[in-house]
Structure formats: C-alpha cells, structure tokens
Amino acid sequence: MNLPIICIIDDDKLYQFTIQKAIEKTQKVGQIISFPNGYEAINFLKNHLSQPNKLPEVIFLDINMPVMDGWQFLNEYLALENQIAKKSIIYIVTSSIDNADKLKVKSLEGVKDFVVKPISKDRLAEILESF
C-alpha cells in the first residue's frame, strides 16, 4: 500500500513544524512537502503535472499568506485541474473564523472542508484515515 503525500501550504513556520510533527506521528503518510506560499506550491504542481508519484493526495492550504494567498492558489489550481495527473483533496486550514470565508469554501469545487487551526489530533487522524 502506498502511503499518501501530504502538502502543507502555510507561511507560519511554527505551524508548519507542529503540523508536520503531528502528521509524522500518525505513521500514515509517505511524504510531507511544504511551501511558504501559494506561488511556490503552484509552481511545484506545474512542474510535476504529469508525475502522479510526486503529487499530493491531500493539500492543507492556509488562506492568508504573502506572495500568493490561498484564494489565488485555488484559482490557479482549479484552472490547472484538468492537466494534473492526480487530483488532490484540499482542506482550507486557517485561523480565520470569518463566516464569509466558510461560505466561500463551501461554494468551491475541489475543496473538501474548512478546518480551523490548530487541527486537533482527532481531526487530523480522521482526515488521514480516509486513505
């Protein structure tokens, strides 16, 4: 059985570190790749469009980031979706509790859920169990 690749797109280095450690502890993940903004993440995806073994099964995406925020990343990702060899399940993971953000997420195709930071161990396990 192949373990999933998880992608973390978040500019908060402390959050990236803690979520990576929590994911590693589950021992249900093959690889974790992380990016400090949507721009670097979308370029990675563009460079590996036809390489499903390098593409993530799950993307944990922050909304508020410099360079390219989560909404801009989603727009780019959805425009590329038909060219990507493997579809990713996207979770918006944010400290935002703005109802407008929650409503926007629910209207977007390709976004599985809106998760408020920090992700609990139980919620993380639930997400990773779906593989």
pLDDT, tens only, 28-84: 888 999 999 999 999 999 999 999 999 999 999 998 899 999 989 999 998 988 888
Tokens representing 125 are 């396990």
Q: So what's the pLDDT on residue 101?
A: 67
Per-residue pLDDT for 1 more than 60? Answer: no
Identify whether 18 is part of a domain: yes
Identify whether 108 is part of a domain: no
Number of domains in the chain: 1
Identify whether 102 is part of a domain: no
Identify whether 127 is part of a domain: no
Write a three-state SS string for 27-91.
CCCCEEEEECCHHHHHHHHHHCCCCHHHCCCEEEECCCCCCCCHHHHHHHHHHHHHHCCCCCEEE
Identify whether 26 is part of a domain: yes
Distance CA 25, CA 5 (A): 15
Identify whether 47 is part of a domain: yes
Q: So what's the pLDDT on residue 81?
A: 83
Segment among 10-14, 53-57, 104-108 with least mean pLDDT = 104-108
Distance CA 13, CA 125 (A): 22
Distance CA 22, CA 42 (A): 24
Q: Predicted confidence band at 2 (pLDDT cuts at 50, 70, 90)?
A: low
Q: So what's the pLDDT on residue 55?
A: 94
Identify whether 19 is part of a domain: yes
Q: So what's the pLDDT on residue 67?
A: 92
Q: Which domain holds residue 88?
A: 9-63+78-97
H or E segment to which residue 20 belongs:
helix 13-26
| Region at 125 (left for phi over 0; alpha for psi -120 to 50; beta for the rest) | alpha
Identify whether 131 is part of a domain: no
pLDDT, tens only, 86-101: 888 999 888 767 777 6
